[in-house]
Every structure is written in structure tokens, then in C-alpha cells.
Structure 1
Amino acid sequence: MTGTPEPSVRDTPTPPVPPDTSTGTRLPSTLVRHGFSVLVPLLLPVGKAFSLARSTYAACRRVLRRRTPHEERIARLQTTVRRLAGERAGPLCTGTKEWQSVSVPREHSYKRRARPVGLGLDAILELDTERRVIRVEPGVTMGRLVRHLVRRGWTLPVVPELEALTVGGLTMGFGIETSSHRHGLFADTVESYEVLLGTGEVVRASATEHTDLFHALPWSMGSLGFVLAVELRIVPAAAWVEVRYHPVADLSDMCRDITRLADRADGPAFVEGFVYGPDEGVVVTGEFTDRPTGRQNRVCRWNKPWFHAYARDCARAGGRVEYVPLRQYYHRHSRSLFWAGELLVPFGNHPLFRLPFGWLMCPSIEFLKLIDTDRRRRHTVAQEALVPARHLEGLVRHCHEVFEVDKLWICPARLTRREPPGLVGPGPDVAPGQGMLFMDVAVIHDVPGPVRRGEPWDQREATRRFEAWVGGHDGFQAPYVLSELTREEYRAMFDCRLYDRVRHAYGGEGVFVDAYEKITSGWAMAPGK
């Protein structure tokens, strides 16, 4: 799936990926294995104070911004973009700092060369229950949006699990959740975008207006324009989710069960899977319900076990059925950030820690990125990709082989072929308007086997092997993770034909950073490369 290559804003030949010079000494092995546990008495209280200070600051800013209407703030941004674009002094990007996003940091990030534009757009603008849409600015987080909707009896068809994720990041990036087998990715729930183009013009893109731009925006990473507002579909909300934990005998059994459940027309509303090793896993399903008729579990309480570990215990016990409040189900992974909490506090899920100190977990993603180091990141794995469901078992086994990790998260998603097709879709074999079941497989901040053993490990080489497998099996690498794809490999994995046309037609070339330059590890963009 290729298109005509567009000259890069800072186009340089992509060199071969150099070997990772990191060594397998005991020091990084110990740091990765034990995280920051020696600093827990300091870091966790500071992290909690940091989160409270950030949330208080954000709330105060929102109060002050209410005095300025959305349209007036947009007019100021138009003036800024026209001025900066006219100067031609370099491409533009949002003013979000690297540590404020969930993307894996790059060694030579594009943000260090591009010119940032502070958008300051994080307001909930309008709830229209007659049209069943909510209009929000791109900086609104999932935590705020879900709280606002559920209180009024509504929710979103797709709610990615972490509260800190923003509407803008989810529509322009990945956006997958355990209801994606029914509703697609987060961007598939968008009714319309309000976009500031490189020309300074503001347009509305929907299925009936500027349809080419509408279909090109998902996964474009803000390279076609600045999103100013998004209309999202909403659906009636139930108060509870009936959660079932299904034990599986082995990996083949798990892949078969999760595919069967996700592909059924009358299947459960929510489906996810956890792999804990070659022969251990669990499939977790959920259904909306208005009232519990059995065991209740408020999984987000500070003293509760981390959800991924609790699901494992339920599987070992032969399965379980229980009822979880809706908002707590949505954000069930926020306290541990999937497995990232184990790297910070290896004993954080132990009852002797949880009961007195569980309220300190987990520090915000922003804080964790501020205290993290390049050396430590080079000794952990954070990778994620979508592949057709028929390749699920193969990808899981490939992750076990390449990264030598045990813990994986699996989430089914149905990708629909759009017309015209955007960057991501099921391919030409599927008719326009029809969908195809994919599986998302994620390695979320785990430690590879060689690092655990104190041996050398080449992160770049392992990433290259992972990307080659995904690309060779009609898959798509998530845009927020570390990528070593060359520009040619990126354009082979993603269908760039519509993207290229839209970027040229709507004035994005030379004004906004190209999508490839946003996802690459940055080696090709390094000074002197």
C-alpha cells in the first residue's frame, strides 16, 4: 500500500539502523528489574503531589478560558498559523511537551526542531442528546469526558482505558478499546472535525463535507492540520458492567476463544485478553447491565489488586462472574498503567503495600516520563500492533521469541474499509463499507529476557524484527510506540495515497511535520545523519 512519496520538510536519506551500543551490565539489569523501588518513599508522595498540582492548575486554566469563547480563541490561532506559515522557518507542531504525551519518547524527537504552537483547547463545548453527539476540544481527557457523560446517562461507544488519554491524541493516533470489535477504533466514532489548515482556513470535515480530509485524518498524527474541535457519537449508558473471566487451556485455545467471541454478531459488548506465558492466559468479557445481580467489585479502589493480576487469579480459580460500576470498568487499568506499575514498584500489588499505600499508585504518565531515563527505556519493551485475526497466534509467539516477554494484552478491533481509504484499513479485498476483524497485541512496559538475565540486548534490532513481521502479515504498528521503520517501509505498511493528496491539497506540505517524522525513533533525524 504505497503512494507517491512526498519530499520531507527535513528530508535526508534514511541510514541503516545502527546497532544499539547499550551493554548488558548488571547495573541497568538491576535498575530495570527493581524499577525505582529504592526511591519509593520519595517518588510516590512527590508523584501524588505532582498529579494534584497539575490537575489543580488545569482546572484553573479551564475556568479562566471560559471567559473567552471558542470562536475567539480559534481566530487567534488562525492569525498565529498564518504568520508562522508565511515565515517558512520550519514546520509547526502542537505545543504539547514530550513528557505530556503518552507516546514513547524518541532520542531525536521532531519537537526539538519544529516550532510549537500552544493550542490550549480542552473544553467540553456542547452535548446534543437529540443528535446523540458531544462536541469537545482536542485536549479533553477520557477521565473528564466519561465523568461528564456518565453523570448524564450517556457514554461513548469506544472509551480507551487510561484516563489521561486525550480526544485529539486518540483521533489522530491509535484509540483502541475492548468495544472496538463492535464499533471500530476511536476515530470511527467521530461525526465531524473542525480543522485549522496550513493556509489559516478553518474547515469542517465529515462524511458529507471535505470527505477526503475526513478519511485522511485518522492516524495522521496532526500532520494535516490542527484539530480544533471534534463531534463524537454518544450512546445511552448503563450503570454497571457484568464482567466474566474465562480461563483458557493454552495459547491456541485463547486465540480461538477471543476470536470467536469478538466475531459473533450477538457477542459480548467488551472483549480483551491477557497472556501471562506460553500456556497461561484469560479472556475477559463484559456486558452492560442496569443493576448487579451478584458479586460486586469496585476495581478502582486504592486497596484493590491491579486488574491484570486479579484477572489472572480469577482464571486460576476456574473463572468468575461479577459486577463492576461502569466508570470503574472503563478505567480499570489506570491504577497500574497495565504492567508499568510493576517496573516502578515491583511489590506494589502485594496486600502489605496496597492496604496502607495503594492510594499513592499510580503516578501520572507525565510524572513517570519526567523521571524516566533513556538508558532505562532502552532496557524495556513497549510495542503494539494490529494484525488480521488469523495472524493472532503467530504474532503472540513472535513477541515471545523476539522480546522474550511473557505478559501481553490482546484487544479485538474491527477495521472498516472507507471510501476513499485512509492510512489504515482492511485492504482492497474487503468491499467499501465492510469490516474485517483485527487483533491488537501489546507489550506494555515489560523487561526482555536478556535484560533480566544481565545479557546484552539490542532494542533496535528487536524492534526491526517485530516491525518486519507485522508488515509482512498485513498489520499496522501503533503510532505512539518506538518505530525503526524506514520511510519506504512506513509507506509500504500504511496506505499513503489519500494522505499525500490531502496534505498537498489542503496546504499541509511544508507547514506541519510529516506523519512519518512523528513516528520514527528519530535516528534518521539525528544531527549529522
Structure 2
Amino acid sequence: MGAHEDSVASISASVRQFHEKKIPFRIYHGSTNSTRPAAFQRDKMVDTSNLTRVLKVDTVSKIALVEPNVPMDRFVEATLQHGLLPPVVMEFPGITTGGGFAGTSGESSSFKHGFFDRTTNSIEMVLANGEVVTASEKENTDLFHGAAGSFGTLGVLTLLEIRLIEAKKYVELTYHPVKSFAESVKKTHEATEDASNDYVDGILFGPRSGTVITGRLANALPPKPNLQRFTQSTDPWFYLHAKTILAKSPSTPFIEHVPLTDYLFRYDRGAFWTGTYAFKYFKVPFNRITRWALDHFMHTRIMYHALHASGMSKQYIIQDLAIPASHAQEFIEYVDETFGFYPLWLCPLRHDGKVSMAHPVSAGKEGSTTEGEEDLLNVGVWGPGSTSRSAFIAANRQLEAKVHQLGGVKWLYAQAFYSEDEFWDIYDRKGYEALREKYHATALPSIFDKVCVDLSKEGNGKGEKRSIRARLRSFALTTWPLSGVYGVYKAVAGDDYLLAK
């Protein structure tokens, strides 16, 4: 723990200096799995990028002490050495434990265990005045719940204690075909009611074609198993494999076994299916040979790097929307009619009724039921948007309004386009600002400042003086294929893509 304590002391001293000078700062982690554009000024940030250690795995208590910048693949690797596993493992290996807690994360086990922050027993934070505190259900409880989903706007997260469960070698997957939106919602709900299931998610390939996928942890294989992997360059992308199975078995369930880590990170290659847009952008044939040849570029760590460097996040709708289960079919129908792109991802989420920034009491106006404990169905809506900035913003705002109307909530890792009044109509401004006051965080950027696009600046660049370099970069990031080439170049070079030059 000595190295950890030294790191925390250094962070505390840095934060205290900002506090004494009343200078706002941002928290730099070294990477991000958010799709929001970001750039950090070196003289206005607190560097936590060295908090990358798994400090302890307790096999008796089944807990782990882990620093916030430990990515999920390394966290899983460390716990598996002791036969244990985090209950909720985010599907991208580069997502960190701190990002999962402070940024809201769930996965196919969240119907059983809740969001990732619900698997956390306690946290250590450096408050915005430099004080180091612990928060849990028994100590600084308001901070513990308030920090979940707060995106570092209440202080600097430095340590988490996370619960663990028993690990097994394989996941037995069953692919259940569905032929309508109504059937997909019904089948997903039925799967979550089956206590023997450890994982549930679904993929819709179209209005009349989809699969709900259930998973059960297993140590033994049947005599003649269908064994499938997804992490090697010669393996299929998971969603393509599911589509192939659906074509072969359109009416009856199909069972196979997958090694545990292959299942947990099954969507890494191709970032679910968004990697297909890179092939379309560069006009490269999309087949097994080209996927193999370009496999290095199709992992999420590289793809996020390229996405941020290229500026292409401003052209793609990448949103996760959690909708009350009773309104899920209506929402999917709306997405089909409005956007029309597929696949869509379905992921059921347990809602325990506790309120935080990650779990707001929805202010939906038309029949919202989320003020109770109705479970949610996350719908992943990821596809191309308009190249017109105004049309792109309008489409995202329309999507946000529909989610709000149905009593749902969007995940704030993505770009948000709310006005300030709209944002605080959903989230508890009074409670949040009281926490910021109590824990000395009022000088930090607010969560609205961090996650929402400043609509007042959109389209108001006339007369703005920019350097030749800035104008050239703007041209490059809006011209095919320069923006994509630049993104790939930056990803290959490996330069830091978050620090301002």
C-alpha cells in the first residue's frame, strides 16, 4: 500500500494547491472510453494516470482493493488468479474501474447485480480541498451514492473496494431467436426471471430478426461441446457469429460454450458492430480476410484513440438509453422509424430505486414509472448521423426528448445535447449542489459543464480568429478521407490524444 499512499499524498497536495488558488481543475486518467470530445490543459489538471494497481484480492471476504485506472482486462486477470470474478465486467477491456463507477456502466450481468457502482462496497476520494476521505454505506453515505455517475465533479476517486463472485471456466450461451420487437422485450424479461441465468443481452438485426442471448457460468463441458472463441484475430466478431447462428437456426435455440474471458470481452473486436463503419468510411471490403488483416485496428482501445483524434464522434450517434421495461417496445419502434439503422443492442438492467447521478429519479412527464423499482432495458443506438451539424444536434435532441418522455435516462459517457434547464429537469440539482457545497467541490466543473455540448457556441464561429494551423486542422477533420487517415495515424503513433498540445 506504500506506493498507493504516496500517490494519494501527491494528488492531495496538487488538489490543495488548486483549492487555495481557487483554480478549477479536471482529472486526467490517461485514457477514456467516453465518446465526448475532450482535451486537458496540463496546468489545470490533476494527473491520476499512475493509479493502475490491483492492491489486494481477498479470497475469504471475496473483495478486491483496486485503483481507479485499472482496466477491466487487467482486473479480471488479477481476480481469476484467485478463482474470483467481478460480478459486472464491462464489455470493453480498456474501461477502468473508476470509469465504471464514476461514469455509469452496466453489462449483461446487470439484470442480476445492477450497475457496476452497485458492486462497490466503498471508495476513497481526495476531496476538492485536498482532504482524503472514505465513503461507503456506513460512512459519508451521501458522498458514496452521489459520487456514482458524477464524472469526477465531487472529488478525485483514488481507490475502490469491489465485491467478487466465484469464477468458472466457461459460459454456456443459448441464442434464442426472436421475430418482433414485442417478442424481444418479452423474451428478455423472461430470461431475467430465470435465476439460473448469469448473463442476458440481445441483438436486433431488424424489425423481424433478432436474438436474445442467455449465459450460464460452467466449469465442465458436455461430451460434444460447441466451443467458440472471440478474442483471436481469426475468430469471428461476436455479432456476426450471432447473426450466422440465427440464419442456421431461425426458430430454435442454439447452445455453445465460450471460454470466460472470451465471453466477457466478446464485443471488443469491432466495438460491437461500429467497426463496420470504419470499413465503409475507407471503402474497404468487409469480409473475413480484411477483418483478419486489420484486426489490430479493430480493438476498442485503438478505435477510441482514432475516434477522438479524427473528430468523427461528431458524425455518429453513439447513445445508450435505459428505458423502463414497460415502455421499451415503444422506444424501439421509435428508433426504428426515426433512424432505421441496425443492429441495436438490448441489455436488461436491475433498478433498485436508490437515487444518485447514475440513477436519477426520472422526471418523465407522460406515464413514467421509474420512480419505483421497475427494471430498465438499455437500448444501444449506434449508427451514422447527419453530416450537417445542425441536423445532427437536432436528431440527438429529439432522441433525448423521447427518452425523457418515456421516463428513461441516457448514459452520460456519450455526448449530451440538453439545455441546462432540460438537464436539471431530469437530475436532482438541489441535492447535487448541496453535495458540492458540503464537500468543497463548487470550484470544480459541474456535471452539466462536463457532459453537455455548449449549444450557445454551435454555429457561432463567424468572425472568430483562428490560427492557420487551427484552420488547417479543422479542414482536415471535416474532409474525407483526411479525418479518418489522421485518426488512424494518431492511433498508430500512440501519442496521448487527451492532453492539449
- Give me the whole-angstrom Cα distance separating, in 1, the residues matched to 2:339 and 2:377: 19
Match of 1:424 in 2: 359
CA contact (8 A) 2:307 2:313 kept: no
> Which ranges in structure 2 are unaligned for 5 or more consecutive residues?
462-501
> Quick one: which amino acid aligns to residue 439 of structure 1?
L
Asked whether 1:522 is paired with 2:458, we answer no
Query: Displacement of 1:274 after TM fit?
Result: 0.6
CA contact (8 A) 2:112 2:350 kept: yes
Superposed, 1:119-518 pairs within 5 Å as 119=48, 120-262=50-192, 264=193, 266=195, 268-293=197-222, 294-318=225-249, 319-346=253-280, 350-354=287-291, 357=293, 359-366=295-302, 368-370=304-306, 376-418=312-354, 423-425=358-360, 435-444=373-382, 446-448=383-385, 458-510=391-443, 512-518=444-450
SS in 2 for 1:415: coil
Asked whether 1:92 is paired with 2:22, we answer no
Instruction: List per-residue Cα deviations over 1:142-183 (Å, max 9, x = no partner).
Output: 010011111220001100110000111110012110000000
- Give me the whole-angstrom Cα distance separating, in 1, the residues matched to 2:457 and 2:52: 31
Query: Displacement of 1:421 after TM fit?
Result: 5.3
- Give me the whole-angstrom Cα distance separating, in 1, the residues matched to 2:362 and 2:415: 25
CA contact (8 A) 2:179 2:207 kept: no
> Which aligned segments of 4 or more residues in structure 1 are displaced greater than 6 angstroms?
427-432, 525-529
State the TM-score, normalized to the length of structure 2.
0.83
> Quick one: which amino acid aligns to residue 189 of structure 2?
T
- Give me the whole-angstrom Cα distance separating, in 2, the residues matched to 1:470 and 1:288: 34
Shift in CA distance, 110/520, structure 1 to aligned 2, threshold 3 Å: farther
Query: Displacement of 1:525 after TM fit?
Result: 6.6
Query: Displacement of 1:443 after TM fit?
Result: 1.7
- Give me the whole-angstrom Cα distance separating, in 2, the residues matched to 1:117 and 1:524: 28
Query: Displacement of 1:237 after TM fit?
Result: 0.3
Query: Displacement of 1:528 after TM fit?
Result: 7.9
> Quick one: which amino acid aligns to residue 304 of structure 1?
D
SS in 1 for 2:277: helix
- Give me the whole-angstrom Cα distance separating, in 2, the residues matched to 1:502 and 1:146: 33
Query: Displacement of 1:415 after TM fit?
Result: 1.4
- Give me the whole-angstrom Cα distance separating, in 2, the residues matched to 1:466 and 1:528: 24
- Give me the whole-angstrom Cα distance separating, in 2, the residues matched to 1:431 and 1:258: 18
Q: Percent identity?
A: 25
CA contact (8 A) 1:173 1:218 kept: yes
Cα-Cα RMSD: 2.7
> Quick one: which amino acid aligns to residue 157 of structure 2?
V
CA contact (8 A) 1:178 1:270 kept: yes
Shift in CA distance, 459/373, structure 1 to aligned 2, threshold 3 Å: farther
Match of 1:79 among 4, 13, 17: 13
> Quick one: which amino acid aligns to residue 116 of structure 1?
M
Q: How many residues align?
A: 448
SS in 2 for 1:208: coil
CA contact (8 A) 1:171 1:218 kept: yes
Instruction: List per-residue Cα deviations over 1:454-500 (Å, max 9, x = no partner).
Output: x9981100001000011111111111111101111111122334322
CA contact (8 A) 1:124 1:135 kept: yes
- Give me the whole-angstrom Cα distance separating, in 2, the residues matched to 1:162 and 1:371: 15
514-523 or 357-366, larger mean C-alpha shift: 357-366
Bigger RCO (CA 8 Å, 6+ sep): 1
- Give me the whole-angstrom Cα distance separating, in 2, the residues matched to 1:526 and 1:462: 15
Shift in CA distance, 483/354, structure 1 to aligned 2, threshold 3 Å: closer
State the TM-score, normalized to the length of structure 1.
0.79
Shift in CA distance, 368/157, structure 1 to aligned 2, threshold 3 Å: closer
Instruction: List per-residue Cα deviations over 1:398-437 (Å, max 9, x = no partner).
Output: 222332312211100011122x7555156699999x8431
SS in 2 for 1:274: strand
- Give me the whole-angstrom Cα distance separating, in 1, the residues matched to 2:330 and 2:369: 22
> Which ranges in structure 1 are unaligned for 5 or more consecutive residues?
1-65
